[in-house]
């Protein structure tokens, strides 16, 4: 890791390690939206009146798969992605349960899907955050922060983001001691101690990844046993620098006098005793929340904000479909997301024929 670059990032962000931090003409931009970069770099995209057969909102595994199948059915598709193509899978260091690959990195797999979608003719635009969808007679108008697009159908595949604990100290420390992506921020903790909070597949997968270059990994599980798959559970006994903690409820992120992370205060759910677990940084993997905020009031959702669907991924609005982690009942796995994309593409086929 480049120590001088790390120091510069921390200086720009008041001690926080926020990635990406970009310098343009000596002016820093911290985790900027692509729409901001377009404006700063004077990138002007021509507004178009083209009518697409389908617009897919979100460029993760579900959205890319939908585009691949739709294009093969000769439907002209456009993917609008707010940030980077690939979704959460793009942030995964290693995927070992995707059929056909014993092991492949998330970025490599997503690059292959993106290339395949483009090969079949799909158009992909990044930096386009959708803020509204309007149905007008036989088509939809999709409004982004900078443009308008029209299509005969819509697929919402915006995925999900990592859930927060919402305990004291979390908000203040995000980016400077509290993280949600080991692939992105793990390198800051080489040869240091880290805490991983969670008990499922993601927590163990990322904990095992971090163990490869950190001094110690302390996995804090609020339950009496992990819920992760046997594949990960079988690996733990052989990794000497991974230390599981069970029945521990996270109470507070403690900070030192300089406002830096000092430790995680936990309560034993059996004895009631409190304990301060020290480390240099924390990674949280306790579940996901759907990225459906822009679509509230447009399509039906359940109490948790996941889009409800019937049949071939159909939402409550005819012509709008949903696929991926943002859909009720979806399984947060890349292989499952591709299946969701196939389902949505069949819904498109029936609707557009």
DSSP output for 158-185: --EEEPP---TTHHHHBTTTEES-HHHH
pLDDT given for residue 183 in this prediction: 81
Q: pLDDT, tens digit, for every residue of 160-209?
A: 998 999 999 999 998 889 999 898 789 889 999 999 999 999 999 999 99
Do the beta carbons of residue 97 and residue 333 sit within 8 Å? yes
Q: Which fold has domain 51-162+288-352?
A: FAD/NAD(P)-binding domain (3.50.50)
Residue range(s) of every CATH 3.50.50.60 domain in the chain = 51-162+288-352, 170-284
**Would you state the structure tokens that stand for residue 248, as one six-digit string?**
């521990």
Lowest mean pLDDT among 5-14, 148-157, 232-241: 5-14
Section 227-255 average pLDDT: 97
pLDDT given for residue 34 in this prediction: 65
Q: pLDDT, tens digit, for every residue of 19-47?
A: 678 888 778 887 777 667 777 777 665 55
pLDDT given for residue 46 in this prediction: 54
Section 334-343 average pLDDT: 97
| Cα(15)–Cα(9) distance, integer angstroms | 8
Question: DSSP 3-state assignment of 147?
Answer: coil
pLDDT given for residue 47 in this prediction: 56
Question: What contacts 307, CB < 8 A, 6 or more positions away?
Answer: 156, 290, 292, 295, 299, 300, 301, 315, 322, 326, 327, 328
Do the beta carbons of residue 66 and residue 56 sit within 8 Å? yes
Q: Which has more pLDDT, 338 or 16?
A: 338
pLDDT given for residue 185 in this prediction: 86
pLDDT at 271 over 60: yes
List the CATH code of the domain at 170-284.
3.50.50.60
């Amino acid at each position: 890791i480049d120590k001088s670059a790390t120091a510069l990032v921390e200086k720009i962000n008041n001690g926080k390690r926020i990635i990406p931090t970009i310098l343009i003409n000596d002016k820093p931009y911290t985790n900027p939206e692509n729409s901001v970069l377009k404006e700063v770099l004077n990138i002007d995209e021509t507004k178009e009146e083209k009518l697409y057969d389908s617009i897919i909102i979100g460029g993760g595994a579900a959205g890319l798969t939908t585009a691949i199948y739709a294009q093969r059915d000769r439907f002209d598709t456009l993917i609008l992605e707010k940030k980077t193509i690939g979704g959460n899978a793009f942030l995964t260091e290693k995927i070992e349960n995707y059929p056909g690959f014993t092991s492949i990195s998330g970025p490599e797999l997503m690059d292959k899907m993106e290339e395949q979608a483009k090969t079949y003719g799909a158009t992909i635009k990044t930096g386009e955050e959708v803020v509204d969808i309007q149905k007008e007679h036989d088509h939809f108008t999709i409004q982004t922060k900078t443009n308008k697009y029209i299509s005969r159908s819509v697929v919402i595949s915006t995925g999900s983001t990592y859930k927060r604990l919402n305990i004291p100290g979390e908000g203040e420390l995000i980016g400077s001691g509290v993280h949600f992506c080991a692939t992105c921020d793990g390198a800051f903790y080489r040869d240091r101690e880290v805490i991983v909070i969670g008990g499922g597949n993601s927590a163990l997968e990322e904990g095992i990844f971090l163990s490869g270059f950190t001094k110690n990994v302390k996995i804090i599980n609020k339950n009496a046993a992990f819920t992760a798959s046997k594949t990960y559970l079988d690996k733990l006994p052989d990794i000497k620098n991974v230390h599981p903690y069970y029945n521990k409820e996270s109470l507070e992120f403690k900070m030192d006098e300089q406002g830096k992370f000092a430790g995680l205060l936990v309560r034993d759910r059996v004895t009631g005793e409190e304990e301060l677990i020290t480390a240099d940084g924390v990674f949280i993997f306790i579940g996901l929340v759907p990225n459906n905020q822009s679509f509230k009031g447009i399509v039906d959702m359940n109490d948790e904000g996941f889009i409800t669907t019937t049949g071939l991924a159909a939402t409550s609005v005819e012509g709008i479909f949903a696929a991926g982690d943002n859909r009720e009942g979806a399984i947060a796995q890349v292989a499952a997301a591709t299946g969701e994309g196939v389902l949505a593409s069949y819904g498109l086929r029936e609707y557009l024929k």
